[in-house]
Structure 1
Amino acid sequence: MELLHISIRALVKEIKDEMLDIDPYSFVSPSAYDTAWLAMINPAADSNEPLSSPMFKACLDWVLNNQTEEGYWGECDSHGNPTIESLPATLACVIALKKWNVGSKNIERGLDFVHGNAEKHLGVTHDHFPRWFTIVFPGMIELAHKAGLELAFPSHLNELLSDIFYQRQRILETGEDIIMNLSGDGSLFQSPAATARAFMATGKEECLGYLESLVGRCATGVPPSYPLDEELIKLCVVNQLQRLGLADHFTHEIEANLAQLYWNYNSQEPLAKPSSNPVIATQLYKDSLAFRLLRMHGYSVSSWQFLRFLKNQEVRARIEKDYQYFSSAMLNVYRATDLMFLGEYELEEARSFSRKVIEKVLSKETRDNKDNFRPINLEKMMENELRNPWIARLDHLEHRTWIENRNSNILCVGKGSFHRLSPVLTEKLMQLAVADYEFRQFIYRNELEEVERWSRSRGLRDMGFGREKTTYCYFAIASSIPLPYDSDIRMMIAKSAIVVTVADDFYDMEGSLDELNSLTDAIGRWDASRLRGHSKTIFDALDDLVGEIVAKVLQHRGTDITVFLQQIWYETFASWLEEAKWSRGGYLPSIDEYLGTGMISIAAHTIILPASCLSNPSLIDCKVRPGEYETVTKLLMLIPRLLNDIQSYQKEQEEGKMNCVLLYLKENPGADIEDSTAYVRQILDKKWGELLQHVLMDGFGDLPKPCKLLHLSCVKVFQMFFHSRNRFDSNTEMLQDIQKAIYIPLNVGTSKPLVPPQKEDQAINSHSSQPSKYEISRSSQLVLDLATV
């Protein structure tokens, strides 16, 4: 495993060296459809002259060399299967090869693919074809016939094909003169394919200039649009690194890109009026992505950049009408609103609007009519966002999902295709991501075994009562904070959570009041001489844990935090005793009184603050003494308590205990349980936005940023446990996630390992558990509409 670690660092260095001088265009994989159109261009001024050689031979060479084993060119879906976009893309490539009398075998395989897959992709009602396909596909059929290619579609598709041609004719009748739509750079809407068709139809020098400029930047295959928004490409690469779990290896590069983006973001001028759908969709995608990344990295940014579109009624109407086209942009807007602060009501509206659009995309009617035409399978991502919000997802498992997603190399969406990462960079990043994930799994397995040994040796796994959650506790913290936090922090948090679970159950269900009083008193004096049985076991385990933390902080930081740790644990035990007295005495506190104690008894701060001292012992001087916590810590204490209360009120009612949901019903006799839970959730929503602002933005308290981020990670763990149900108390709810996080290898097909298995096995024995950081007849009308879909 040490050899794997060395290989990871070497690959990180190799990728960094390449990224320093790389042209942003090199990040983007070529578009087969657009490249084929450039490959068709005859350099002869008179198209009736004999053919010599293609004007852009490199594009023809790309077509020859980039046919898939299945015989097609173009996009595939998340399962690796060709999408409907592959039909026109494959025809375009076959036409280009036929025009120059090359690649006879490629042509044969390409036509076989079209004939063999036409029925699969066209076998639905034509009214549901995407507009771009209704225009492009008939054009490719006409061109193929003109080029002498024999297309033999099944006879039962004739009526459907006739309907597609009819729909295309209706669209073209609404077109405009091509010349009126040339951009200043000579392009049609910055589309290489559309501009190539325009040049072949008109011979406009402006179009040629654009195409020559394009090939000058992209020597072989060309992207779906040009020029590329280089800033968007860099932004998407940053997003890619984070989603793959590689951000910690590229901290400097990410920060440098975001710093430049921040200045550009704030100085950007809004569009004077709504533009074409592609422009709006791309800008929405970019601005919402920039907002999310910048805010997550602590930059003070406003959401006006993407909200300006959503405030425009014309744009909203376009989105609602052409919701499929805007689905990716709306998903990005929805994700951006994950980072909404308290009082940002316009973001609340944006979240509601984008959610409705996503729900429409996911509706049964939409699924039945659209599935064959979606170049990328967005449904799973959308479903996951709506069902499991970001606040309740753990980073480590998020990285696994993205690594295993076959479309994880997609940067941003085009009209009928996508901007993808180049194959070379994709392979290297995927190789690194797989190795990095498996390295983490190895570390996590070792640490979990150590935590289990400690729990067993201290008697905590065999108490005979309550919940045994050793694995749950370690899994949750290991999957929620990035690996650069050293092993000691993960171990201390996991051990603290185990002690909290056992001790809390002892106070709730096992100990007599005399035992609870004695144990609490012993914690206050930090003297176990009078304790016996379970009380003694709990105290000794806690004493061992505190001693371990103190020793490590003294060794690495030179600060003695013994008194601080004893005080914060006594505060927690005292709160458990208070709640036990309420329950057994039938006392009903007010909501305020209950929360005053319940915020402490949930023990989130008890788990996080001591462990934070391992990296930031100076936080003891930042008002973290019992009763003097900063706002961000108070939010850490309140949010988990309310989350737990919403999911546990039925159980606690049966046990004769009180929580916030039940107390609201007592204080509001006219309310029902739905009213009560809605009341608590309203508080949660507000406090969550407040917590995010305190964690991400500077100027909110004195706690160091790493400590604040641990606060956020801890709250996300509680969100994961209690978002929709009580997963923590279940013995089966978490098992699959635990297996995927720690034990089950990644499902990434034939991805190459960094280290041969036998060498990796040999290296395991010497592993150190401490990781380092790390168409032609009416061509003008067709070209116009091709670009404006």
Structure 2
Amino acid sequence: MEMPHSIQAIVEKIKAEKFSSFDPYNFVSSSAYDTAWLAMVPDPLRQDRPMFEECLDWVLKNQKENGFWGETDSQNNPTIDSLPATLACMVALRTWDVGTINIEKGLAFIHTNAEKLLTEPYDHNFPRWFAIVFPAMVELARRTGLEVVFPDGLDEVMKEIYGERQRILEMEELVDKYHYPPLISYLEALPSSFDIDKEDILVHLSEDGSLFQSPSATAGAFMATGNKGIMVYLKSLVQRCGPGVPPMYPMDEELIKICMVNQIQRLGLAEHFIKEIGDILAQVYRNYMNQESWAMGINIAPTQIYKDSLVFRLLRMHGYCVSPWIFCSFLHHEDALAHIEKNYEYFSSAMLNVYRATHLMFTEENELQEARSFSRKLLENVIQLRSTNNNLVISPDFGRVIEHELRLPWLARLDHLEHRMWIEEGENNALWMGKASFCRLSSLHNNMLLQLAAENYKFRQSIYKKELEDLKRWSKHWGLTGMGFGREKTTYCYFAIAACSSLPYDSDRRMVVAKSAILITVADDFFDMKGSLDELQSLTEAVRRWDGKSLSSHSKVIFDALDNLVSDITKTHFDQHGRDIRKSLQEIWYETFISWLMEAKWSRSGYIPSIDEYLETGMTSIAVHILVLSASCLMDSTMPNYTTRDGQYETATKLLMVSTRLLNDIQSYHKEQEDGKMNLILLYLKENPEADIEDSIAHIRKILDEKKKELLENVLMDDIGDMPESWKQLHLSCLKVFQMFFNSTNGYDSETQMLHDINKAIYLPLEVQISLPIKTLPSCYGLKKESSFVHARLNQTFQHFVKNLENLSLKLEESPSSKDVKIGCLQSSSSDYSSSLPSTNCWC
């Protein structure tokens, strides 16, 4: 199916606008709180005007519909960040006597929503940054004349917040080794009673003129000192980032780029930006190779760990040879570990990324195992402490992401469903913890990236629906859906292969894998449950000869469907590459039928094989090699080695066969014990009578973990083996399918366990809202090229004028002598007039 023009158009637009001249700051969302503080700074030469009129203009234009400024969750609801951000924005507007209507809406928002935001999600537990900033913004707003009123029910909560601030101010030094970020990075929010002189500020300035890279604190520092170096920093910030400034500056631009790559991949859009991703990662790798181990200090920044672990994961996923040392060095410093544990609120995002990086662990990478244990323990504590009386707050959205990461192993996740999750999360794409909140990767101008992801997902679903219907017709035509025994898994088989891969245009390969899986399931059940030994022997012999004339009933149905499948694959391959691979395909199917026959003989005779004997047969009877090798034939002109009896399989294929057999056996030993079949868990107990079932499972899991690490190394490293990249990715996809089916239960044999995921993958529409871009007010009122500050002042004056005329109109209407008086400009109400203007999100 050809890609829709709508998707192509968005892709080209993103490439043209965002990648042709890549500006990393285009991808980072603005901080309303920090922008408001820059908007408060007066011009040194004209104290009655703001130094950064464009920042004030940004505040005027970026009030949300409900009256607040600041962060939202994945459902576009305000977060706790919106309280100090809204207060700061209202202070900026009041400072310059503009945006009266914006201020009124902001005050209404605070009064209406403060109780919900301060009580429901957090249960009186507030993070350090909030305890410092929020009371300061309340006090500042009231000093500027704003009537900030909270509901009576919040009295106790407000006392707790103020009490926590007092405790912090009494216990912490301006800069110490125990807290990150340090107290002085909240300079703009520290009360006047907190003794800070000019020298205290200047001594802690960075070389770039900032105060710990915090725009808001640096704005406060400039208003306190008038230092020219600070002014240079602030001007360069606005010039570089635009009127809506980020919560940190400067940022690591390489980190922004790799976060963009990560965002594109998890939204399922990598195939549209292959060159762009490749160019970015190639440059990152060159920098990585020249990188020296960075100095480990007690105030280790979470951004460094976040970046290094993300670089490791992305480079390793793309075949680069990288060592875990890039992000594991913190493990060797007890002070650093203690610091991370103490400041877990700020390190939770970094530790989540460390944990993700450890999914790609190879054999004997002990550092990664240590990092995995440490990060998982910290993340588990984060989740646990959300409901206790500890000073920890993470957003509910971010909490769900952590829980998802800890609950479901990476190998058990199917790409298509992961993409859906991230699309529906929307703006929940935190990069790292800033001073007061998460820095976020914006979803591109006008939400183009999110719109593209939604369109792409919808397109995939349309492909998957059609292919599944075609597959059902094929299954029914060849009699595989009406056998009268065993498992009917047509939908399961298709769902698994479709959802495990992010490529939507690979129809031939998907259908080959799905048809093969259906045949394997039917034939395996026939050997296990239905066929007599004579029938099984006859069917296996027919497959050897590849002649089914003597067969009847179920054997005939199985053989005819198999012959049709092999013929189709052979023809497709010949048409593409001019080679006849029929004999090779027939041989790999034949050896699989031999393995099924052998297991049937063991089961019916009561023979107990040795573990080695069982594995030699079982790694073939699991039949995963048929899936990867059959589909690989449609990827390349070279047929992979295929004969296990001669030890000719590629290492990756052998590891896949063993791993999937172990996954199956760990979850199916109960059923196979009841059916009188042998299983590796049960064989281990036979050979180790002193062990119990838990010992056996633990032993097999340990072997499985090592085999999966070996397999990952074989499929992820470009310099291992001669197997093409597309084949390697197919091996990884099949491993993920088996891990998904046999992760914690035998999901493949369940009639209902997969139904919800199947519906989400193929049928249910996305639950996502893509917000429309805010329209800006065109030049009007005859004010060409005047500043927005002047516009706002004049607009506000006009609003006062309209209000006075409305009052006059009311008085005239009340007067008996004024019945015939008409004031033309007032015949339409002010609301009618407002409807002809942009929303208050844009102006006053």
Q: Same fold (TM over 0.5)?
A: yes
Which amino acid letter does the alignment assign opposite residue 110 of structure 2? V
**Residue in 2 aligned with 1:634?**
654
Of 309, 327, 330, 2:351 maps to 330
What SS is found at the alignment partner of 2:440? strand
Of 140, 143, 156, 2:140 maps to 143
Structure 2 CA distance for partners of 1:419 and 1:371, relative to 1, 3 Å: same
Conserved in 2, the CA contact under 8 Å of 1:76 and 1:375?
Answer: no
Which amino acid letter does the alignment assign opposite residue 264 of structure 1? N
Distance 2:332 2:326 in 1: 11
Conserved in 2, the CA contact under 8 Å of 1:721 and 1:727?
Answer: yes
**Residue in 2 aligned with 1:773?**
none
What SS is found at the alignment partner of 1:587? coil
Q: Does 1:161 align with 2:158?
A: yes
Which amino acid letter does the alignment assign opposite residue 28 of structure 2? V
Distance 1:647 1:699 in 2: 34
What SS is found at the alignment partner of 1:461? coil
**Residue in 1 aligned with 2:92?**
96
Conserved in 2, the CA contact under 8 Å of 1:245 and 1:396?
Answer: yes
Write the deviation string for residues 157-196 of structure 1: whole angstroms up to 9, x where unpaired.
Answer: 3454344334323433433322221111111001000000
Give the drift of 1:627.
4.0
Distance 2:421 2:461 in 1: 15
Q: Does 1:437 align with 2:436?
A: no
Q: Does 1:548 align with 2:542?
A: no
**Residue in 2 aligned with 1:39?**
39
**Residue in 1 aligned with 2:603?**
583
Give the drift of 1:126.
9.3
Of 124, 129, 133, 2:126 maps to 129
Structure 2, unaligned runs of 5 or more: 175-199, 774-844
Of 512, 529, 534, 2:532 maps to 512
Distance 2:288 2:646 in 1: 42
The structure with higher relative contact order (CA 8 Å, sep 6+) is 1
Give the drift of 1:321.
1.8
Distance 1:44 1:333 in 2: 46
Give the drift of 1:266.
2.7
**Residue in 1 aligned with 2:268?**
245
Conserved in 2, the CA contact under 8 Å of 1:31 and 1:74?
Answer: yes
Distance 2:391 2:99 in 1: 33
Structure 2 CA distance for partners of 1:422 and 1:637, relative to 1, 3 Å: closer
Of 323, 333, 339, 1:302 maps to 323
Distance 1:426 1:348 in 2: 41
Which amino acid letter does the alignment assign opposite residue 304 of structure 1? W
Give the drift of 1:58.
0.2
Distance 2:233 2:433 in 1: 22
Distance 1:303 1:485 in 2: 35
**Residue in 1 aligned with 2:785?**
none
Structure 1, unaligned runs of 5 or more: 754-789
**Residue in 2 aligned with 1:704?**
724
Of 453, 478, 481, 2:501 maps to 481
Distance 1:159 1:409 in 2: 33
Give the drift of 1:617.
3.1
Write the deviation string for residues 540-563 of structure 1: whole angstroms up to 9, x where unpaired.
Answer: 110111011101111111010011
Conserved in 2, the CA contact under 8 Å of 1:331 and 1:358?
Answer: yes
**Residue in 2 aligned with 1:316?**
337
Q: TM-score, normalised by structure 2?
A: 0.85
Conserved in 1, the CA contact under 8 Å of 2:298 and 2:335?
Answer: no
Distance 1:109 1:373 in 2: 27
Greater shift, 685-694 or 404-413, is seen at 404-413
Of 468, 472, 488, 1:468 maps to 488
**Residue in 2 aligned with 1:770?**
none
Greater shift, 304-313 or 58-67, is seen at 304-313
Q: Does 1:64 align with 2:60?
A: yes
Q: Does 1:359 align with 2:380?
A: yes
What SS is found at the alignment partner of 1:283? helix
Which amino acid letter does the alignment assign opposite residue 24 of structure 1? P
Of 275, 283, 292, 1:269 maps to 292
Q: Does 1:116 align with 2:103?
A: no
Give the drift of 1:418.
2.7
Q: Does 1:53 align with 2:49?
A: yes
Q: Does 1:342 align with 2:338?
A: no
Conserved in 2, the CA contact under 8 Å of 1:31 and 1:224?
Answer: yes
**Residue in 1 aligned with 2:212?**
189
Which amino acid letter does the alignment assign opposite residue 233 of structure 2? Y
The aligned runs of 1:554-573 (5 Å cut-off) are: 554-573=574-593
Distance 2:503 2:733 in 1: 13
Conserved in 2, the CA contact under 8 Å of 1:248 and 1:484?
Answer: no
**Residue in 2 aligned with 1:404?**
424
Structure 2 CA distance for partners of 1:599 and 1:747, relative to 1, 3 Å: same
Give the drift of 1:76.
1.5
Of 180, 194, 199, 2:203 maps to 180
**Residue in 1 aligned with 2:743?**
723
Write the deviation string for residues 419-444 of structure 1: whole angstroms up to 9, x where unpaired.
Answer: 33346436111111111111111111
Distance 1:527 1:608 in 2: 25
Distance 1:336 1:22 in 2: 26
Of 292, 306, 314, 1:293 maps to 314
Greater shift, 179-188 or 125-134, is seen at 125-134
**Residue in 1 aligned with 2:184?**
none
Distance 1:424 1:630 in 2: 43
**Residue in 1 aligned with 2:13?**
14
Give the drift of 1:85.
1.2
Structure 2 CA distance for partners of 1:43 and 1:751, relative to 1, 3 Å: closer
**Residue in 1 aligned with 2:407?**
387
Write the deviation string for residues 531-589 of structure 1: whole angstroms up to 9, x where unpaired.
Answer: 11111111111011101110111111101001101110000000000000000000000
Give the drift of 1:120.
2.5
Conserved in 1, the CA contact under 8 Å of 2:33 and 2:70?
Answer: yes
Q: Does 1:171 align with 2:191?
A: no
Structure 2 CA distance for partners of 1:751 and 1:435, relative to 1, 3 Å: farther
Give the drift of 1:631.
1.1
Answer with 1 or 2: which has the greater Rg. 2
**Residue in 1 aligned with 2:513?**
493
Greater shift, 534-543 or 371-380, is seen at 371-380
**Residue in 2 aligned with 1:217?**
240
**Residue in 2 aligned with 1:676?**
696
Distance 1:481 1:161 in 2: 51
Conserved in 2, the CA contact under 8 Å of 1:64 and 1:103?
Answer: yes
Structure 2 CA distance for partners of 1:485 and 1:438, relative to 1, 3 Å: closer
Structure 2 CA distance for partners of 1:171 and 1:750, relative to 1, 3 Å: closer
Conserved in 2, the CA contact under 8 Å of 1:130 and 1:373?
Answer: yes
What SS is found at the alignment partner of 1:419? strand
Structure 2 CA distance for partners of 1:232 and 1:351, relative to 1, 3 Å: same
Which amino acid letter does the alignment assign opposite residue 550 of structure 1? T
Give the drift of 1:127.
7.6
Greater shift, 232-241 or 415-424, is seen at 415-424
**Residue in 2 aligned with 1:776?**
none
Structure 2 CA distance for partners of 1:739 and 1:675, relative to 1, 3 Å: same
Which amino acid letter does the alignment assign opposite residue 33 of structure 1? Y
Distance 1:684 1:723 in 2: 12
Conserved in 1, the CA contact under 8 Å of 2:126 and 2:391?
Answer: no
Which amino acid letter does the alignment assign opposite residue 136 of structure 2? G
Structure 2 CA distance for partners of 1:330 and 1:693, relative to 1, 3 Å: same
Distance 1:752 1:311 in 2: 48
Give the drift of 1:395.
0.4
Conserved in 2, the CA contact under 8 Å of 1:431 and 1:751?
Answer: no
Structure 2 CA distance for partners of 1:545 and 1:200, relative to 1, 3 Å: same
Give the drift of 1:51.
4.0
Which amino acid letter does the alignment assign opposite residue 301 of structure 1? V
What SS is found at the alignment partner of 2:768? coil
Which amino acid letter does the alignment assign opposite residue 199 of structure 1? F
